[in-house]
Amino acid sequence: MSETVAIPEDNDSNLLPRRSVVYCGACGMPPEYCPYGPDFETHCDPWLARHHPELRALLAERRGTVVTAPASVKPTTDVPTPARPAHPWTTADRLTAFYEQYVPDKVDSVPALLEKYAGKEDKLFLALTKKYGPEPSDPYYSDSADYDDDEESNDDDADDDDNRVPADGADVTSDSNQKNKKRRGAAAKKVSEGTVATRVVVQKISQRKRRHLTVIQGMETVPGIKLKDASKMFSKRFAGSSSVKETAVGTKEIIIQGDHQVDVAEMIVDKFGVAESCVFLDMDGDVVPLR
Amino acid sequence: MFKRFDPSHDTSTSTQVKASIQRSLKSQILDRHKSITEDTLEVLLPKKSPLVQYKVGSHMMLYCKRSEHEDKSPTDEPVLFQHRDGPIMPTLKLLHRYPTLKFTQVTVDKGAIPFLLGGANVMCPGLTNPGGEMPADGSEQDEHGFDKPGLKKGDGVVIYAEGKEFAIAVGTMTMSSLEVRGKNKGIAIELMHYLGDGLYQTDEI
Ligand SMILES: [Zn+2]
């Protein structure tokens, strides 16, 4: 909070006492509300531990939580979400999870595969999903109900227990699964024809008074990604609103509130499996490679 | 109402609030929020430093305190707002800073917290469940001898949350507190401003 001027109000502090309020440096909320945000364990709690350890201890006590090292603080009892991993999957985690699900006896070959397909991970995952089925979802991003209801996990369920009888509307279920599969097939085909080169540009736009937007262009050139889903994941990860807009030239862009340029670029590499060489940062007009 | 508020797009240019308007803002607040005294309000909004107002969209007026700076142009900190001719209500950051400034208030039970943080309206059970609170009905009677509700439809309220110190939202009653207790169904408070919305993120304009 910027206390820009000393207002003479302080002379009348008996009538209207003024207090300085601590707001979370990570999410901007009063810290007692941080546990309701998506970044409590990864951002808020570490910030609080560093800057206001006493307040952190007090709030944890009110929630009935034992205070330990920041990373291992469990979610509060009144937030009914399971504990989340501290970080999203790396490409290696992602590949391991895939092999554990579909070909567990070949998990050992993961390091060799990563080496062989370095820089071409997107192609590797595309080939694997075509051969075996949809990728398992990263538990880091599946912390809330609407993500569990994601189409891909529905597919997983259907594949896993074919014998299970749905409670009602069995036809509807299988129908929608087919549709999803078709869509994914079509998207995959388009890419395998090599008509689109993957190229994603992440740009930061500064507005007045410390307000920023992060704009991602070219996500539609990434194989197998739905822009709406991607937007939803960004919104969740960066605790701000995110939307898909059509540009004047007919391409699509994702706009996220706040300055997350580098974090977004890294997430595109780590989470969406886009090769680093395909991700660029727009630094005030200069488009530079991520690394 | 302020979910996607962004001062760089959504505000008009500022104008200084006339002394007569500032007086009527204060008298309306005193009239609707009985715990606030005239002396307190004079400290908060001194006669000698007029507020400035920004028009937001076509139906919202945002009132701000102006700070002058030597090295840059003045900045305006949002303190009050009014939608159409609805109640004049404070911003959450103003309320947080002055713990004794008591606008008429309610408390929602903790189950409602995640919904309010998403900008959802307050449903009746959020106020009537254990942990929820509203002013009592029937402390006064009307001319026919019927109990008067603690809160009337259209009253502006500050919303606190069970077990939390800081106000979570500001809203308008869509039914009286008598009806909320009686029906215990549907929307009780239409949310105007909540933690995390665009107005909350605007420290200055
Ligand atoms: Zn936080």
pTM: 0.55
Residue A281 has pLDDT above 90, yes or no: no
Spell out the residues 6+ positions from residue A35 whose beta carbon is closer than 8 angstroms to its own: A44, A63, A75, A76, A78, A79
What pLDDT score does A1 carry?
46
What value does the mean pLDDT of chain A take? Answer: 69
Kindly list the residues from chain B whose CB atom is less than 8 angstroms away from the CB atom of residue A35: none
Range of the domain at B12: 7-91
Question: Mean of the pLDDT values across residues B37-45?
Answer: 91
CA of A75 to the centre of ligand 1 (A): 13
Residue B7 to residue A208, Cβ atoms within 8 A: yes
Same domain, B63 and B131: no
Q: Domain of B66: which CATH number?
A: 3.10.400.20
Same domain, B12 and B87: yes
Question: Mean of the pLDDT values across residues A5-9?
Answer: 43
Residue A145 near chain B (CB below 8 Å): no
Q: Which residue of A has its CA nearest to B76?
A: A4
Residue A171 near chain B (CB below 8 Å): no
Q: Domain boundary residue among B36, B67, B91? A: B91
Alpha carbons A167 and A207: distance in angstroms, whole number: 51
Q: Domain boundary residue among B91, B113, B133? A: B91
Would residue B53 count as lying in a domain?
yes
Q: Lowest mean pLDDT: which of A27-31, A193-197, B77-81, B154-158?
A: A193-197
Same domain, B123 and B45: no
**Residue type for position B101:** L
Other beta carbons within 10 Å of A28: 17
Same domain, B22 and B52: yes
Residue B73 near chain A (CB below 8 Å): no
Q: Domain boundary residue among B60, B91, B122? A: B91
Alpha carbons B54 and B76: distance in angstroms, whole number: 10
Q: Which residue of B has its CA nearest to A36?
A: B114
Residue B161 forms beta bridges with which residues?
B108
Residue A16 near chain B (CB below 8 Å): yes
What pLDDT score does A210 carry?
60
Question: Mean of the pLDDT values across residues B135-149?
Answer: 87
Q: What is the ipTM of this complex?
A: 0.90
Would residue B85 count as lying in a domain?
yes
Phi, psi of A289 (to 5 degrees): -65, 150
Same domain, B111 and B162: yes
Q: Say what angle helices A227-237 and A261-270 make with each other, to 10 degrees.
A: 120
CA of A36 to the centre of ligand 1 (A): 9
Residue A175 has pLDDT above 70, yes or no: no
Of B179 and A107, the one with more pLDDT: B179
Question: Mean of the pLDDT values across residues A247-262?
Answer: 79
Residue B108 has pLDDT above 70, yes or no: yes
Choose among A28, A18, A24, A21: nearest CA to B166: A21
Residue A166 near chain B (CB below 8 Å): no
Q: With cut-offs at 50, 70 and 90, classify the pLDDT of residue B23.
A: very high
pLDDT above 70 covers a percentage of chain B that reads: 100
Q: With cut-offs at 50, 70 and 90, classify the pLDDT of residue B176.
A: very high
Kindly list the residues from chain B whose CB atom is less than 8 angstroms away from the CB atom of residue A19: 97-99
Q: With cut-offs at 50, 70 and 90, classify the pLDDT of residue B117.
A: very high
Residue A214 has pLDDT above 80, yes or no: yes
pLDDT in tens, A112-156: 777 777 777 777 777 777 777 777 777 766 544 343 333 343 444
Q: How do B122-123 and A252-257 pair as beta strands?
A: unpaired
Kindly list the residues from chain B whose CB atom is less than 8 angstroms away from the CB atom of residue A12: 43
The CATH number for A200-289, chosen from 3.30.780.10, 3.30.70.260, 3.40.50.720, 3.40.50.12780, is 3.30.780.10
Question: Mean of the pLDDT values across residues B18-47?
Answer: 92
Residue A207 to residue B6, Cβ atoms within 8 A: yes
Spell out the residues 6+ positions from residue A86 whose beta carbon is closer than 8 angstroms to its own: A41, A42, A71
What pLDDT score does A283 carry?
77
Same domain, B123 and B170: yes
pLDDT above 90 covers a percentage of chain A that reads: 12
Residue B72 near chain A (CB below 8 Å): no
Highest-confidence segment of A159-168, A175-184, B38-47, B184-193: B184-193
Quote the number of domains for chain B.
2
pLDDT above 90 covers a percentage of chain B that reads: 70
Interfacial A residues in 80-139 facing B (CB < 8 Å):
none
Give the residue extent of every domain in chain A. 7-63, 91-189, 200-289
Residue B40 near chain A (CB below 8 Å): yes
Of B25 and B8, the one with more pLDDT: B25
Residue B153 has pLDDT above 70, yes or no: yes
Q: Lowest mean pLDDT: which of A18-27, A72-81, B53-62, B104-113?
A: A72-81
What pLDDT score does A99 carry?
79
Kindly list the residues from chain B whose CB atom is less than 8 angstroms away from the CB atom of residue A205: none
